Homo-oligomer: A and B are copies of this chain.
Amino acid sequence: MQQANKKISVLTQPSLTDAAKLIEKAFAQRRTLIVVGACTVNYVGRASSTLEPGERLLIIKADGSLLVHRPIGYEPVNWQPSGSIFHVAADAGALLVHAVRSKPRENVKIIFTSVLLVSALGLEDSGEFLLFASEDDMHRAILLRPQLLEPGFKPISWEKKVEPGFVDVYGEDKDGKLVVVEVKRKTAQKEAALQLAKYIEPIKARVNREVRGVLAAPALGSGVQRLLVSLGLEFRALDPKVCAEVLRKSENSKLENFL
């Protein structure tokens, strides 16, 4: 009982059969598993791959997701999302970790010929992850979900090159007026309002319809609201955290499509 409650079990340079016992226990207890050793990896599924012998880090998480990492590079060389079923078997010469998924049918076999480290970890992690977008992210979020700016807003182009610089987001409102948007990631100060006013002038001179200037930022600095009004400009509250969430949802689906 004591053993089962331990947060961590570690074996350093174990025999393959001892390693297999701890790996099996980690699967049964749905622990985070780390195995480091010399291995080959074979994958068969939508595509297929073979990784020739070398020393790598295998991670199998509590949800059944799997990663094989080489000593170089931030990307895993093989990976599987959650949902695999795992088996482990060992004899004196080889330790096999086998992951099988059914939809799509995928099959990963990792065969260790020696093990440097095995660890089974009972990790607790309920901490929240808060992502705050960059200004570029905020532009992309508006393009993805234009109602972040206002109902009926239709973006026309992004970072349209206009003298004397770049407009962040450029579009049309529900009444057909042109909208020029300046985005700030932090509390917008007077410079942001003046920058927007400067960008808008040549556009007004060129087009034959009403042009609105909108400063989008999480908040306005002292005196900036008054300056905006005097320049004929508007403010929209836009939270980088909300933008990050919009992108995260969209990019998760994009990333899943991509992978």
> Chain A residues in contact with chain B, CB under 8 A?
7-8, 10, 12-13, 32, 34, 36, 40, 45-57, 59, 61-63, 65-67, 69-77, 79-82, 116-117, 119, 121, 123-134, 136-137, 240, 244, 251, 254-255, 258
Contacts and interface: CB of A to CB of B under 8 A. Distances in A.
Contacts of A13: 8
Nearest to A138: B47
B8 A117 contact: yes
Contacts of A54: 123-127
A127 to B, nearest CB: 3
Given A125-B54, A255-B258, A72 B77 contact: no
B73 A69 contact: no
A35 to B, nearest CB: 11
User: How many copies are assembled?
Assistant: 2
Given A74-B67, A121-B36, A52 B258 contact: no
Most buried by B among A121, A123, A134: A123
Nearest to A135: B46
Nearest to A44: B132
Given A40-B127, A71-B61, A123-B36, A132 B255 contact: no
A168 to B, nearest CB: 15
Contacts of A66: 74
Nearest to A8: B116
A76 B59 CA distance: 12
A61 B30 CA distance: 26
A81 to B, nearest CB: 5
A108 to B, nearest CB: 12
A10 B47 CA distance: 37
Given A129-B51, A251-B258, A69 B61 contact: yes
28 contacts: A8-B12, A8-B13, A8-B36, A32-B57, A40-B127, A46-B134, A46-B137, A50-B130, A51-B130, A53-B127, A54-B127, A55-B125, A56-B123, A61-B69, A62-B71, A62-B72, A63-B71, A65-B72, A65-B73, A65-B74, A66-B74, A70-B123, A72-B125, A74-B76, A74-B81, A117-B119, A251-B258, A255-B258
